[in-house]
């Protein structure tokens, strides 16, 4: 990382979590000098970065969404018990979204809750999964069905860890970045139009600023409505369909979100009069960042998952649509209405 000016810059965002940018995992140990730190990570992150983890106080679980379940939670809890983890110890979740979800959940329930912080290691975790406090696991086919909302104390961003990130994971992260641009930030949308993933990936300073912008967008929304009673629902743009096809097609999250964004744009055209030319601009931007804009999937099976969605409220669902690029709005629509659109689009 060449950007010395920004090294160790610290911002306290929104009062709900401290963010430390350009902060190595090594330095986390010095940041908490009086606490025992227990690191939780997955096999992939551990294989790529074994040297950053302390011997003894590191718990490693098998990588992959298929392991984000209660069985893995049980195993991690058994290991915490074996190493005698106590009420005053701190969990540090180091990894992508599966690690932050699972370690944040474990930290929230083990001994009724330990302190915890995250060091996200994927683009997706840096701009989305590590932020917001919703941490949990899947149950059968239902993503994130079991979980809590509890904020980490701090997020540590070490951009050097991204060096080992596979290219599909970079692409996946931009699914959430483009989502943020669509719902909240037309200026960032134009910025992304004028850049390419390859350039941003090779420009650490520019990439760090982009991550920071996205962290702030998400934290500002979460700070308004931590428990998702209203404003926070905006972050679900593209996610109603995304969660279903992520499960059915085993697509990485950001790629599924991309397909979900296109569907949500078409629903927006019908519900808010969103300009179809702007849908085209969004499709072009998603493709520019190598994201898929369609996917073949079993519509009946997908609808069964959509209609079981957590965003459902009785016979209605909160669905996020666009009025303009940079202006998302939350609409409560009947499941019947959405079903018609779902099978028509």
Nearer to ligand GLY, 144 or 337 (CB): 144
Phi, psi angles (nearest 5°) of residue 297: -155, 160
Minimum distance from residue 135 beta carbon to ligand GLY (Å):
6
- Number of Cβ atoms within 10 Å of the Cβ of 21: 22
Site map 296..315 versus ligand GLY, x via CB under 6 A: --------------------
CB hemisphere CA count around 121 (13 angstroms): 26
Nearer to ligand GLY, 132 or 238 (CB): 132
SS3 143: strand
Minimum distance from residue 83 beta carbon to ligand GLY (Å):
26
Nearer to ligand GLY, 93 or 292 (CB): 93
Minimum distance from residue 75 beta carbon to ligand GLY (Å):
21
Query: For ligand GLY, which stretch binds (CB under 6 A), given 6-14, 125-133, 240-248, 313-321?
Result: 125-133
CA distance 133 to 150: 5
Query: For ligand GLY, which stretch binds (CB under 6 A), given 58-66, 105-113, 130-138, 256-264?
Result: 130-138
Applying CB under 6 A, does 129 fall inside the site for ligand GLY? yes
Query: For ligand GLY, which stretch binds (CB under 6 A), given 31-39, 129-137, 193-201, 208-216?
Result: 129-137
Question: Which one of residues 93, 95, 96, 132 is an interface residue with ligand GLY (CB under 6 A)?
Answer: 132
Residue numbers 3-62 binding ligand GLY by CB under 6 A: none
Strand order in the sheet with 115-120: 10-13, 17-21, 154-157, 115-120, 90-95, 37-42, 58-61
Q: How would you label 109-145 residue by residue, b for 16+ Cβ within 10 Å and e otherwise?
A: bbeeebbbbbbbbbbbbbbbbbbbbbbbbbeeeebbe
Rounded to the nearest 5 degrees, what angle is found at the Cα of 262, between the Cα atoms of 260 and 266?
Answer: 115
CA distance 137 to 256: 18
CA distance 240 to 256: 10
Minimum distance from residue 104 beta carbon to ligand GLY (Å):
7
Tell me the residue nearest to ligand GLY as measured from the CB: 132
Question: Which one of residues 133, 238, 252, 292 is an interface residue with ligand GLY (CB under 6 A)?
Answer: 133
Interface ranges with ligand GLY (CB under 6 A): 129, 132-135
């Amino acid at each position: 990382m060449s950007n010395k000016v920004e090294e160790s810059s610290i911002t306290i965002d929104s009062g709900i979590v401290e963010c430390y940018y350009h902060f190595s995992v090594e330095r986390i140990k010095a940041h908490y000098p009086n606490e025992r730190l227990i690191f939780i990570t997955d096999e992939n992150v551990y294989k790529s970065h074994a040297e950053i983890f302390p011997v003894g106080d590191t718990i490693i679980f098998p990588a992959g969404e298929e392991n984000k379940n209660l069985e893995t939670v049980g195993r991690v809890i058994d290991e915490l018990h074996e190493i005698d983890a106590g009420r005053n110890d701190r969990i540090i979740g180091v990894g992508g979204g599966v690690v932050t979800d699972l370690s944040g959940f474990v930290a929230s329930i083990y001994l009724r809750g330990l302190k915890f912080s995250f060091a996200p290691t994927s683009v997706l975790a840096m701009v989305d999964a590590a932020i917001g406090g919703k941490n949990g696991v899947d149950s059968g086919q239902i993503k994130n069905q079991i979980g809590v909302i509890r904020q980490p104390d701090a997020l540590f961003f070490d951009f050097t860890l991204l060096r080992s990130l596979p290219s599909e994971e970079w692409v996946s992260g931009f699914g959430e970045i483009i989502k943020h641009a669509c719902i909240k930030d037309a200026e960032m949308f134009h910025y992304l139009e004028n850049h390419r993933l390859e350039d941003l990936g090779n420009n650490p300073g520019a990439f760090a600023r982009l991550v920071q912008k996205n962290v702030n967008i998400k934290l500002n929304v979460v700070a308004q409505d931590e428990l998702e009673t209203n404003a926070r629902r905006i972050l679900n743009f593209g996610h109603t369909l995304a969660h279903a096809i992520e499960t059915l097609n085993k697509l990485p999250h950001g790629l599924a979100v991309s397909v979900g964004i296109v569907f949500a744009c078409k629903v927006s055209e019908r519900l808010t009069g969103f300009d179809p030319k702007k849908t085209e601009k969004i499709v072009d931007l998603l493709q520019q960042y190598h994201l898929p804009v369609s996917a073949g999937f079993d519509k009946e099976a997908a609808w069964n998952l959509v209609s079981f969605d957590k965003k459902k409220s009785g016979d209605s669902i909160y669905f996020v649509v666009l009025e303009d690029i940079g202006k998302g709005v939350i609409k409560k629509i009947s499941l019947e209405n959405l079903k018609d659109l779902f099978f028509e689009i």
